[in-house]
């Protein structure tokens, strides 16, 4: 295992914006259990929609996952803006 330096730019909830040494842009660190729960929600919604494209629960679950991903993105963007870092997209 290698040891590398990283700077935590901002922490919130189960995620953090982290700048790895040698990288041009910071990344988003998400706790494993949080990421696994999001992945499970997306995978289950995809499975349910393949079986029934009009499944309301699956669509609600998908909307919830999109909102959570949007929270991650807004948090990331706010951390970059606070430090005057341009977004990589």
Query: pTM for the full model?
Result: 0.87
In a domain, 16, yes or no: yes
In a domain, 87, yes or no: no
In a domain, 70, yes or no: yes
**Model confidence at 2: pLDDT above 90:** no
User: Which pairs from 25-29 meet CB under 8 Å and 24+ separation?
Assistant: 25/85, 25/87, 25/88, 26/76, 26/79, 26/80, 26/85, 28/72, 28/75, 28/76
In a domain, 61, yes or no: yes
Greatest C-alpha distance within the chain: 48
Average pLDDT, the chain: 95
**Model confidence at 1: pLDDT above 90:** no
In a domain, 57, yes or no: yes
In a domain, 14, yes or no: yes
In a domain, 88, yes or no: no
């Amino acid at each position: 295992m290698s040891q590398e330096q990283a700077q935590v730019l901002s922490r919130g909830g189960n995620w953090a914006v982290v700048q790895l040494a040698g990288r041009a842009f910071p990344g988003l660190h998400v706790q494993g259990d949080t990421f696994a729960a999001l992945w499970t929600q997306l995978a289950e919604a995809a499975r349910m929609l393949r079986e029934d494209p009009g499944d309301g629960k699956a669509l609600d679950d998908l909307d919830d996952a999109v909102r959570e991903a949007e929270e991650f993105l807004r948090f990331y963007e706010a951390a970059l803006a606070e430090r005057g870092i341009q977004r990589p997209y």
